[in-house]
Amino acid sequence: MRYISTRGTAPALDFRDVTLAGLASDGGLYVPEAWPRFTHEQIAGLAGLSYVDTAARVMAPFTAGVLSEDELRELCAAAYGRFAHAAVTPLVQLDHDHWLLELFHGPTLAFKDVALQLLGLLFERFLTGSTEHLTIVGATSGDTGSAAIDAVAGRSGVDIFMLHPEGRVSDVQRRQMTTVGAPNVHNIAITGDFDTAQALVKAMFNDRAFSRRFRLSAVNSINWARLMAQVVYYFYAAVRLGAPGRPVAFSVPTGNFGDVFAGYVGSRMGLPVAKLVVATNVNDILARALADGDYSSRQVVATPTPSMDIQVSSNFERLLFDLGDRDGAALAAQMQGFEASRAMRLSNAQRDGSAALFAPERVDVDDMARAMRRACDDAGETIDPHTAIALAAARRQAQVGVPMVTLATAHPAKFRDAVERATGSRPPLPTRVGDLFEREERYVTLDGTFDAVSGYIAARAAARD
Ligand SMILES: Cc1ncc(COP(=O)(O)O)c(C=O)c1O
Ligand SMILES: N[C@@H](CCOP(=O)(O)O)C(=O)O
């Protein structure tokens, strides 16, 4: 399998190099040269497989030429052995047509662990025997940061610099990052919002001299391997609910468009996906883009769902590329226009293509809180605010007889204040996260500017060398 850039001019890479690369050298994102297709029989053959076996089977076409299905299985067994539930991503039925897909049983209590536990092992495997040293730079609105840090803390050959927007992540999220004492972990709180942090990360990749000098690498969903690992749970859940014989719908709390894009990949691979509900909070650029073609970014508003407080959704570019006939030159021009003016219109092909599968829903704080209370009252389930956004959207979009799966992306204990405000009860911290509030925090605060952040990283990286 080879990977090509959405902007058309970066060199094509194999799976090893795309995993280590991050952003493509032309500023684009890597996608597979062609989508692998599973037949009806191959999907039916996933029934009854464990999560690890499903993962190896679903991901094998993407790693072809670099890792075999057996090698993938071994890595997945190690990655998912750290999850607290035997099913790794269990389904919980809420009522006749609604299910929750619990993605938060990993070490840092959010769906990011599913991909990042594997990514940490992939880095280790690909760097073994090499003298390369990676400098991972990442941006987080809370969950990617802790999952990535857990996955690479203490590993040799890697340093991680993680940017989070100061004061805009929950206290649990921040402490999960800043109390990790490993010397290769560097936390940076920046002034500004998540979009500022993500733009800084992309600017560092786009500075080719900087990127080459420090061998930058990515843990955000810029990195194809992140999305690949997230495709697995769409297959795992859909097959348990009757696929390939029965289509299944998914509702996905969406910010950077990575998780829901993984669902799109599943559908391109032949999974019968009835609908992908793109559930946003009031930072609704995606809902607007999918509803009427208006992709224009506004000021980020802080909400009780901080991990979705995003206005520039990185992975939307992958969808626009795929729906726009994979024309890299046209997409590069479209994205450069957006970068200059913070606004663009989707083409007719992009609008029609997305309308066939995606159903956008914007959910405000009141509807979110109602969904949390209803899950408690009707099904005895405490859900986190991000999951509640998607569940509220799912209830608007459900069709009788089509199973609707809401992705439960975080453990409610990560957002205890918001859960308590909505439901009146405060979820306890699972023992897995231990003495989070007794450990010492370690981070620096910097201006959210290129010079401040790249200067800090350069100084730390030079001190290491
Ligand atoms: C808990 C939670 N839910 C939903 C999202 C949104 O996912 P995505 O950015 O892949 O759209 C995030 C952040 O990525 C998150 O941390
Ligand atoms: N919500 C995310 C934002 C970063 O998204 P990613 O999927 O591109 O890593 C977070 O929790 O940090």
Q: Per-residue pLDDT tens for 181-238?
A: 999 999 999 999 999 999 999 999 999 999 999 999 999 999 999 999 999 999 999 9
The tokens for 381 are: 């389930």
Q: How confident is the model at residue 355, as a pLDDT? A: 94
Residue 395 lies in a domain: yes
Distance 191 CA to ligand 2 centre (A): 17
Q: Which of ligand 1's atoms lies nearest the C-alpha of 230?
A: 10
Residue 367 lies in a domain: yes
358-362 and 343-345 beta bridge pairing: unpaired
Pocket flag, ligand 1, residue 6 (CB < 6 Å): no
Q: Tell the burial category of 428 from Cβ atoms under 10 Å away from its Cβ (0-12, 13-18, 19+).
A: exposed
Q: How confident is the model at residue 433, as a pLDDT? A: 84
Pocket flag, ligand 1, residue 386 (CB < 6 Å): yes
Distance 314 CA to ligand 1 centre (A): 12
Residues 6+ apart with CB under 8 A from 288: 294, 295, 296, 360
Q: Which of ligand 2's atoms lies nearest the C-alpha of 259?
A: 7
Pocket of ligand 2 (CB under 6 A): 140-145, 220-221, 255-256, 258, 307, 314
Q: How confident is the model at residue 250, as a pLDDT? A: 98
Q: What is the CATH number of the domain that holds 343?
A: 3.40.50.1100
Residue 59 lies in a domain: no
> What are the angstrom distances between the C-alpha of 199 and each of 139, 203, 449?
9, 6, 10
Most ligand 2 atoms within 8 A of CB, residue of 108, 113, 144 to mutate: 144
| Tokens 């069709």, located at residue | 399
Q: Per-residue pLDDT tens for 225-235?
A: 999 999 999 99
Q: Which ligand is nearest to the CA of 136?
A: 2
Is the bond preceding residue 244 a cis peptide, omega within 30 degrees?
Answer: yes
Residue 61 lies in a domain: no
How crowded is residue 380: how many other Cβ atoms within 10 Å of its Cβ? Answer: 8
Distance 143 CA to ligand 2 centre (A): 6
Pocket flag, ligand 1, residue 253 (CB < 6 Å): yes
The DSSP string of 113-142 is: HHHHHHHHHHHHHHHTT----EEEEEE-SS
Residue 157 lies in a domain: no
Residue 285 lies in a domain: yes
Whether the Cβ atoms of residue 73 and residue 49 lie closer than 8 Å to each other: no
Domain of 377, in residue numbers: 87-108+224-423
Whether the Cβ atoms of residue 159 and residue 460 lie closer than 8 Å to each other: yes
- Active site (annotated) includes residue 112: yes
Pocket flag, ligand 1, residue 412 (CB < 6 Å): no
Q: Which of ligand 1's atoms lies nearest the C-alpha of 410?
A: 1
Residue 161 lies in a domain: no
Whether the Cβ atoms of residue 358 and residue 393 lie closer than 8 Å to each other: no
Most ligand 1 atoms within 8 A of CB, residue of 251, 409, 414, 419 to mutate: 409
Dmax over CA atoms of the chain, in Å, equals 61
**CA distance linking residue 46 with residue 50, whole number of Å:** 9
Per residue of the chain (465 residues), give pLDDT as tens: 999 999 999 999 999 999 999 899 999 999 999 999 999 999 999 999 999 999 999 999 999 999 999 999 999 999 999 999 999 999 999 999 999 999 999 999 999 999 999 999 999 999 998 888 999 999 999 999 999 999 999 999 999 999 999 999 999 999 999 999 999 999 999 999 999 999 999 999 999 999 999 999 999 999 999 999 999 999 999 999 999 999 999 999 999 999 999 999 999 999 999 999 999 999 999 999 999 999 999 889 999 999 999 989 999 999 999 999 999 999 999 999 999 999 999 999 999 999 999 999 999 999 999 999 999 999 999 999 999 999 999 999 999 999 999 999 999 999 999 999 999 999 999 988 879 999 999 999 999 999 999 999 999 988 877
Distance 216 CA to ligand 1 centre (A): 23
Residue 286 lies in a domain: yes
Distance 147 CA to ligand 2 centre (A): 10
* Domains in the chain, number: 1
